[in-house]
Structure 1
């Protein structure tokens, strides 16, 4: 086995290729680059990521609300995140996408607050949601922006080798 094969995908990536936000947008584009006839992703990694996000969001609710969410989910296909029109075209490989996915997955489950921030990052960058789409009963539009900013900052602190541009959160996809 070669020395390169023994190294982890996160170590062999050229993280200078894109900024942190661009990597996240690229993962979103990659996630939906393989779609079936009904527009749903047939990419097995993307499907697994979607299922993990949906399950995690359901279990944060109380038992009563959780049952209602499950009933609603079974009655429709609204439970699965939908791809949005995006200005990004997938320009990353499957291995690069797996590495970007690891950025998020490795940080999840550490705290409820961090998970909320990462959920906002996923909603914004992976699923291409607008700020208004991210508003929920418990999150205002301003909360969504702060959650995304905090999520990006947390990712930057954990992965300082990925370029991160300080300033406003990308508002190109209002």
Structure 2
């Protein structure tokens, strides 16, 4: 038995809890501390555009993979004005993609995806990547990349580039290039060093 257990019940003090005031003070201190620390953890424009570019490159790869696995035509359509893009699969194998809901549902990938807040299509001050002779924002025919049943870009022998940039940091730019073979590459612009 401990000494506490030996104390008669009438002499024991009831255990005191925390008062509402004490809890409010602790919550206020935690809130103030988070308010001072949180802005330091805010994502930079360069990081945001890098993440958006990585996501888009993965979505293009998913679309190509679905073309290969289903042996059907697939497409990623870029919508500059809407700041979005969508992936589609020729669900009825008629060789036509109408960019309708059933086609993005059949892709079983990402469907319609808006660009993250603060990210837009564009190159900003960055020059075109070495593989891009046109220098536009979206260089794919009709602002879309299409894959045939073998995962090759249609029309044969074509490829293209999509540029994304941060609205807040003009030199935060990435490019996603797709070769005629369907291979995707993510490029990052650095004001010192150029495209990597």
TM-score in same-fold range (> 0.5): no
Q: Which has the higher strand share?
A: 2
TM-score normalised by structure 1 residue count: 0.31
Q: Which has the higher helix share?
A: 1
TM-score normalised by structure 2 residue count: 0.29
The structure having more radius of gyration, on CA atoms, is 2
**Larger relative contact order (Cα-Cα within 8 Å, sequence gap ≥ 6):** 1
